[in-house]
Amino acid sequence: MVGVIRWAPCPRVRCGAPPAAAFAHVRGGPLRPEICGIAFICDVPGGAEVHVEVAGLPPYRPAGDGRPPVGPHGFHLHEFGDCAVGDPAEPFKAAGEHWNPGGRLHGDHAGDFPVLFSNDGYACMTFFTNRFRTADAIGKAIIVHENPDDYRTQPAGASGKRLACGIVRPARWFC
């Protein structure tokens, strides 16, 4: 992992010991190899803050002919830190399902994230979740899907195929 690190400040962080931090290098699979990106996770009081920046997302395509729209993109933390491609038509199945330690319905999974909005292929967002801490996310996988997450369809929100994958690893940087 090389490159410039750009990290939005965590406004809720307190002085003292540096918070736990993690990152994932998100890479496109066979369905969209152009995707590259980075996600950072850091502990903040009450939960974790996730910052993600991704380029190379596919162009938006509205729903039609019985097909769901392409974008905004379903985005989750999946249970296994394994980005093996496997079947190139159905990539990244090795990452398993959404991380869901509480056995909740989809929409309330610990690994459920907001959808990723593409701006001509580029997305950037920061959000807070109280569903896990940074240490919980390490060793799991961040997945970007082709279709939007409806937050209702079980177990995965009808998010469609898996376009990109990144394993969450410990980071040495301060948040």
Q: From the centroid of its chain, how far is CA 14?
A: 25
Instruction: Please state the closest distance from residue 145 (CB atom) to Cu ion, in A.
Output: 5
- Pair 79, 89: CB distance under 8 Å: no
**Measured from the CB atom, is 22 or 141 closer to Cu ion?**
141
> Which segment (19-27, 36-44, 81-89, 143-151) binds Cu ion by CB under 5 A?
143-151
Give the contact letters, 73-112, x = binds to Cu ion (CB under 5 A), - = no: ---x------------------------------------
Instruction: Please state the closest distance from residue 164 (CB atom) to Cu ion, in A.
Output: 11
Instruction: Please state the closest distance from residue 143 (CB atom) to Cu ion, in A.
Output: 4
Instruction: Please state the closest distance from residue 78 (CB atom) to Cu ion, in A.
Output: 6
164 binds Cu ion (CB under 5 A): no
**Measured from the CB atom, is 100 or 134 closer to Cu ion?**
100
> Which segment (28-36, 43-51, 69-77, 130-138) binds Cu ion by CB under 5 A?
69-77
Size of residue set near Cu ion by CB under 5 A: 2
Residue entry with tokens 């918070």: 19
- Using Cβ positions, the residue closest to Cu ion within the complex turns out to be 76
Strands lying side by side in the sheet with 47-55: 75-78, 141-145, 162-170, 21-28, 36-44, 47-55, 123-129
Instruction: Please state the closest distance from residue 123 (CB atom) to Cu ion, in A.
Output: 15
**Position among 42, 77, 143, 175 found at the interface with Cu ion (CB under 5 A):** 143
- Pair 23, 41: CB distance under 8 Å: yes
Residues at the contact surface with Cu ion, assessed by CB under 5 A: 76, 143
